[in-house]
Amino acid sequence: MLNGAVMRITLLLAAVLVTACADSPTHEQVEGQVTVDESSATRIAGSYVAGEDTLAFEARELEPNLVAVTLNLHGMTLDATLDTRDGNRMWSQDAFSTASGEDTTIALEDSELIQQFVRAIEAENIGVSLGDGLAFHFGSVINLWAQWVPAMDPVRIKFEDRDRAVDMCWWAGAPDRYHDYDGHDCDACSGDPRQGQGKSNCSSYVAYGPYYSGTTWYYNGSWVSGDDMMGHGNYTYQTGDCYGRYGAGCGSGNAYFQENASHDHCVRNGHVTYSSWCSDELWNTTSAYNCW
């Protein structure tokens, strides 16, 4: 049961929603046009056009449990290979000039275009980010690239252990429960509770799940990024249907993990989305096996 302080915060949130829902971000808005040339269990391919930008995409099952994902945009190729044996994933990736093969970086304008593409391709209802097959792994890769922090080196190797992912589905499915603490490692913190360290001025009570369904609101306004946020205060309360949910612009499906919430806490409380303080949180996120 919520304690008195949390109940007061909850009642305040309800009042805010009554007057402010009309200004809620339209995170499900789709821009541009997707053309899907193939959508099968072994290959997904096509293109996305938004204004003067064109993005080509392909995801292929090279062999059982081995997936390759490629995006071409702005003269750059993003390439990832995922070994998906035993429900885990060994994930390697690279970014390079399409014309010359030279190493390059992922700029903010690149990730913004990919984020628009993610929303558009997920709206095509071909299973992207859902289930457990090729479309699911494809969705995981493009959602990560859509949230990319330019300070990060795109040449990466990532291991995701499904058994070690801290699944918050139980909390997300219970509207009267708050997780004790969440946090992130940043320039204003002495530690991150999610890494076994002490509570600090980056720690907050967090509610996972579809709270105030259809919104992205939390205790003092809306999900935004910037230095004017209040999230670095200790013992603050945060909630929202996107909090802890994997994916750019709220993502797809309904899966909630502590790693994803730490990243949300970083970019939505005192740091812009491309802050280098949030890069380790982003790379440690695990993409989700849906709760429901």
Give the residue from 209, 153, 141, 182 showing the smallest Cα distance to 265.
182
Mean of pLDDT over the chain: 74
- pLDDT, tens digit, for every residue of 18-76? 322 222 333 456 889 999 999 999 999 999 999 999 999 999 999 999 999 999 999 99
Q: How many CB atoms are located within 10 Å of the residue 37 CB?
A: 12
Partners of 68 in the beta sheet?
60, 81
Q: In which band, very low, low, confident or very high, does the pLDDT at 143 lie, cut at 50, 70 and 90?
A: confident
Half-sphere exposure for 232 (CA within 13 Å, toward CB): 16
Give the residue from 183, 157, 156 showing the smallest Cα distance to 263.
183
- Round to whole Å and give the CA distance between 116 and 71: 13
Query: What's residue 208's pLDDT?
Result: 79
DSSP string, 146-162: HT--TTS-S-EEEEE-G
Q: How many CB atoms are located within 10 Å of the residue 28 CB?
A: 12
Q: In which band, very low, low, confident or very high, does the pLDDT at 113 lie, cut at 50, 70 and 90?
A: very high
- Round to whole Å and give the CA distance between 80 and 59: 9
Which region holds residue 264: left if phi is over 0, alpha if psi is between -120 and 50, else beta? alpha
Q: By the 8 A CB rule, do 219 and 13 touch?
A: yes
Mean pLDDT lowest among 31-35, 107-111, 218-222, 276-280: 218-222
DSSP string, 205-246: EE--S-TTTT--EETTEES--STT--TTSTTEEE--TTTTB-
Q: In which band, very low, low, confident or very high, does the pLDDT at 228 lie, cut at 50, 70 and 90?
A: very low
Query: What's residue 25's pLDDT?
Result: 34
Q: Mean pLDDT highest for which of 58-67, 210-219, 244-253?
A: 58-67
Give the residue from 230, 206, 232 showing the smallest Cα distance to 220.
230
Task: Give the helix ranges, DSSP H, for 38-195.
Answer: 108-122, 134-146, 169-172
Partners of 210 in the beta sheet?
none
Q: Supply the pTM of this predicted model.
A: 0.74
* Host H or E run for residue 76: strand 76-83
Token pair, residue 192, equals 């991150």
